[in-house]
Amino acid sequence: MDIVVVGLSHKTAPVEIREKVAFPPTGMEAPSRQLLELPAIVEAVIVSTCNRVELYAASRNPEAAIIELRKFLSDYHDLPFDSLSEHLYDFEGEEAIRHVLRVASSLDSMVVGEPQILGQIKTAYGYATEYKTAGLILNRFLHKAFSVAKRVRTETAIASSAVSVSFAAVELARKIFDSLEDKTVMLIGAGEMCELAARHFVNNGIGKVLVTNRTFARAEKLAAEFDGGVAVSFDNFREQLHRVDIVLSSTGAPDYVLSAKKVKEVIKARRHKSMFLIDIAVPRDIDPLANKIDGIYLYDVDDLQGVVQANLKERNKEAAKAEVIIDSEITQFQKWMATLEVKPTIVALRQKLDQVRKAELEKTFSNLSGLGDKERRAVEAMTNAIVNKILHHPTNVLKELQINGDGGLYIDAVRTLFDLPEPTDSQQHEADDT
């Protein structure tokens, strides 16, 4: 049995392709069940996010499974096979395992270290559990992926530094003020960047949010989205600045909305208590000369991008540590996978030889009617010992080879030579429990 992955992501397909291949959360049951109807697919999970669509499967014929999964994506979404295939990737065996562990650990994400993808895979697994499309292999595999992702976050600092402008602003604020709980932030402008940064501030415990905008209704609307948020008239927001610890400005105005002179007046009114000014507007909203005023910490968008780039370098260093963790986890999981093949084979081989032993005993006993119970038991014990001795060395060799990753060909050879049937899912479950 092998793990197989077929999919596409932000690295291989533009958004106009990804959106055509996406599966809506409310419609996962039908495609999940259809996957199990494919001849080569034993188990399946569908992962569908804005940045990737991937099909995870367990199969005894990975080459056929890849072809079937590629065709499934094309047929299900009514897309030309050849044009869609240009954007698809596929993995099997160790590379499939590595890929999924890297995805779950956010090493393959658009932003390395972002936490959303792990939750999205857990959601996908939840659907597969509900619709019973994940069995022994994918259950164990995805739980392994979850534990690896947790280990990566615990043992590395891959998610500890901000890699977005808005969150970098929050990180800097926490360094300046230690705690944000009793602080007030004012948003000058009510655009998307201001809103995103404000949400980061709120999630990190900011005390109060003030919003001002040239269109007061827009300020009111955004302020209402935060507990205790207050809209401030654009005409007199400068008179409110002495109450504010953090200013986040993004207006699109052609001239400065805050002069250095005004900032100097504000810091004096605050009795020189520190202020953090974040100017993410282009052209800039705040006179850069304000940064020379004692107690003022002014960062523009380039300053924040510099912080982001430095943090990205740190994340990449941590990603290298994560890759080492994944390598060790792959080895462990492959050893477990190996037992799924070797144990049922050994059990089937023992049963086959035991059937031959019993059949030959019956023939022998029918020709030796004078044997007593004691003699019959002795002969039976002897034949049983012979079978055990014959199986002892091959069994140990199969186990050792499989642990080292070289047992696949030998298992196939044993099954062919002794005409053993393919293991059923129930036999693999039994083997996993032994």
Closest by Cα among 6, 20, 10, 11 to 72: 6
CA pair distance 238, 234, nearest whole angstrom: 8
Task: Quickly count helices (H) and strands (E) in the chain.
Answer: 15, 10
The HSE-up count of residue 342 (CA atoms within 13 Å, CB side) is 23
- Indicate if 50 belongs to the active site: yes
CA pair distance 44, 32, nearest whole angstrom: 7
Length of the chain: 434
Please tell me what DSSP assigns to residue 258.
B
What does the radius of gyration of the chain's CA atoms come to, in whole angstroms?
Answer: 32
Catalytic residue among 15, 29, 33, 50: 50
Phi-psi region of 294 (alpha: psi -120 to 50; beta: other; left: phi over 0): beta
What residues pair up with 248 in beta bridges, in sequence order?
A: 187, 278
Closest by Cα among 145, 16, 18 to 8: 18
Exposed / middle / buried, residue 140 (Cβ in 10 Å: 0-12, 13-18, 19+)? middle
**Beta carbons of 405 and 333 less than 8 angstroms apart:** no
CA pair distance 263, 247, nearest whole angstrom: 11
Element (H, E) at 166: helix 165-177
The two three-digit tokens of residue 137, written as one number: 């292999």
**The one-letter amino acid at 68:** E
Instruction: Supply angle C-alpha 158, 163, 169, rounded to 5.
Output: 125
Complete DSSP assignment for 40-98: T-SEEEEEE-SSEEEEEEEES-HHHHHHHHHHHHHHHTT--HHHHHTT-EEEETHHHHH
Q: Which residues are catalytic?
A: 50
